[in-house]
Structure 1
Amino acid sequence: MSSAPLKNIIIAGATGSVGAPILSALLAEPSFNVTVLTRASSSAKFPSGVPVKQVSDAFTVSELTEAFKGQDAVVAALSTTPVTKDDLAFRIIDAAVAAGVKRLIPSEFGTNNLDPRARSLVPVYDLKGKMLEYLIKRAKESNGALTWTSISCGSWLDWGLDPAKSGNFLYVDVKHRKATIWDSGLSRFAVTTSTGTGLAVAKVLLNPELTANKQVFLSDFVTNSREIVASLERQMGEKFTVEEKESGTVIRELRSKFDAGDFNATYPLLALSFVADVDVGYDFEKEQEVWNGKLGLPKQTLDEVVKGAIELANST
């Protein structure tokens, strides 16, 4: 396994919810040469001077291999759709091996996708788990030529409280002072901001030996639905209208829809995996080694993130 620095970085999915902050963090690091991978039909615009490599919408292994040549690291910041409906994540792995890439950060960014609790509840976690298992296998077969780092960051609460980006993913509507509490509302989950996740990716690539072949767990803090609503009410000086719901029947219905091929059930299932009384191992501070300190990430608090959400709601 080479200890040489990772300088040439290519990112796929650079305009997405997690991809955009990752791209910003990579561009802010002067030691990186950053390239964006995009499909030929994309109309996305990127900062001036950033090289862009285009491939067809088919994203074939041969095209990806050619795009990855000369790159030290590939960052996959793909949405859940290619993971649930396509094998693009696997083709990226094969292309990274074929191109001689040194480090691959797969499109994980959520829970521990190797945890059977998460995989049994949310199908996309099981599919991502299979992807990570495949990546680990291919890396071993490369005899150290390819290394990997998976990043599990829990919930992006800043994203989840921004309706324009997430559609009130966590069932909290800041602007209209409304929230849905599922079950007890006490299910605890790790939170990392989207900006913090982007910075963590840059830090991982700046520390290749430390992070090689590791699952990196991030957590600015751990919280639950009731704590989020309480922070909002305290800072806004207003009570929220709270609706209490039970998740059991809803989760079973969503699983049935997904199993029948309705991929629109994916995001509601993901949301409920955070806020319902289900155990998918989201309390990283209790169950995992948290890497925030090792990576030198700035500290964030629940009240700080909520304050940002309130300011956003008041400005729109």
Structure 2
Amino acid sequence: MAAIRNVAVAGASGNLGSHVLKALLQANFNVTVLTRSQKPGSYDAKITVAEVDFTSTNSLTSALQNQDAVVSTVGIAGLEGQKILIDAAIAAGVQRFIPSDFGVCTTSPKVLGFPFYSTLATVRQYLADKAATSTLSYTVVAPGSFLEYLLMAPSVVDFKNHSVALIDDGNNRFSTTTLANVGTAIAGIFNNPEKTRNRVVYVSEAILTQRQVLDIAKEIKSKITWTISNIKSSDVLREGLDAVASGDNSLQAVGKILLGTAFGGEEYGSAYDSNDNILVGIEAISQQKLKDLIAERFN
């Protein structure tokens, strides 16, 4: 497989996309940002910016000429539309496609029929089918929970109100990775195209539990009295599924589905005891850095 040097990024202005963009530039890839409308000064001068119509295969194919790879970091609204981007990548002769499928247990067979997860599964299958009949290959990145989001979520630990609802007693394990290191992992994938071809790459900067996060918080602020309750992951999941079934497609309803599965522990394979950290250049987070990040939540 030829070396990957030219990379196009869709969704580069988003929270994850901006970190991916930075990591690719630091790794000396030639980066093109795909955007609906170019705003002067939005990107570094060494970045090529291509205005595209994400609903047009022709527009995207034109923009992807001479690109070796595509990274999609689009949000929920753009997930289904990735099929058009995949078709354009094939038409343009792109070698590698990374879909927007960054999560804790998105590839678990047990979640494939759930709302949100089913959309990801459909896109993954579409990508795999196309890869089987073309020169395009793919990599799905499984980084666990984004560590920054994890520490900001009151449903995990509510630092503001000093309360926590422990899911399954707070002992279920889950992998987590910082946004910056998701970007680093993607650069590592492109530097190892054969070893990451047509498979899921697992990245795990740390394996944590709710109780571990709470214990560190207690260590940092020992005088705080915490309000602790207990809930079951199966109940949280059921609440989300029932809400969506009744027509509630809000982020709150979908969020319960994600919470009930991502924090379901071994049931959904949320902790990556076996991972690809070494291959893509990721080191485990130090205890001190983790403690520092948790301490910031009190500020």
Distance 1:278 1:206, change over 3 A: closer
Instruction: Pick from 173, 181, 190 the counterpart of residue 188 of structure 1.
Output: 173
Matches within 5 A, 1:143-158: 145-158=135-148
Instruction: Pick from 219, 223, 247 the counterpart of residue 208 of structure 2.
Output: 223
- What SS does the aligned partner of 1:172 have? coil
Q: Residue 282 in 1 paired to residue 231 in 2?
A: no
Please name the residue that 1:127 is paired with. Answer: 119
Please name the residue that 1:76 is paired with. Answer: 72
CA distance in 1, matches of 2:74, 2:225: 34
How far has the Cα of 1:180 moved from its partner?
A: 2.4
Distance 1:302 1:77, change over 3 A: farther
CA distance in 2, matches of 1:308, 1:132: 33
Q: Percent identity?
A: 29
- What SS does the aligned partner of 1:209 have? coil
User: 1:134-159: per-residue Cα shift (whole Å, max 9, x none)?
Assistant: 111101101xx211111101111223
Q: Residue 67 in 1 paired to residue 63 in 2?
A: yes
Alignment size in residue pairs: 296
CA distance in 2, matches of 1:49, 1:229: 43
Q: Residue 262 in 1 paired to residue 249 in 2?
A: yes
Please name the residue that 2:198 is paired with. Answer: 213
Q: Residue 160 in 1 paired to residue 150 in 2?
A: yes
Equivalent residues of 1:118, 1:126 under 8 A apart:
yes
Matches within 5 A, 1:81-120: 81-83=77-79, 87-120=80-113
- What SS does the aligned partner of 1:6 have? coil
Equivalent residues of 2:7, 2:31 under 8 A apart:
yes
User: 1:36-56: per-residue Cα shift (whole Å, max 9, x none)?
Assistant: 111128799223432211123
How far has the Cα of 1:262 moved from its partner?
A: 1.3
- List gaps (5 residues or longer) in structure 1: 163-167
- What SS does the aligned partner of 1:243 have? strand
- List gaps (5 residues or longer) in structure 2: none
How far has the Cα of 1:211 moved from its partner?
A: 1.2
TM-score (norm 2): 0.89
CA distance in 1, matches of 2:265, 2:97: 34
User: 1:50-88: per-residue Cα shift (whole Å, max 9, x none)?
Assistant: 2211123x53222222221211100001122323xxx21
Letter in 2 for 1:284: Y
How far has the Cα of 1:106 moved from its partner?
A: 0.8
- What SS does the aligned partner of 1:53 have? strand
Letter in 2 for 1:160: L
Equivalent residues of 1:235, 1:307 under 8 A apart:
no
CA distance in 1, matches of 2:284, 2:235: 38
Please name the residue that 1:50 is paired with. Answer: 47
Equivalent residues of 2:144, 2:176 under 8 A apart:
yes
CA distance in 2, matches of 1:147, 1:229: 41
TM-score (norm 1): 0.85
CA distance in 1, matches of 2:63, 2:144: 31
CA distance in 1, matches of 2:136, 2:160: 46
CA distance in 2, matches of 1:210, 1:170: 37
CA distance in 2, matches of 1:239, 1:312: 14
Cα root mean square deviation, aligned: 2.4
Distance 1:7 1:23, change over 3 A: same
Please name the residue that 1:29 is paired with. Answer: 27
- What SS does the aligned partner of 1:11 have? strand
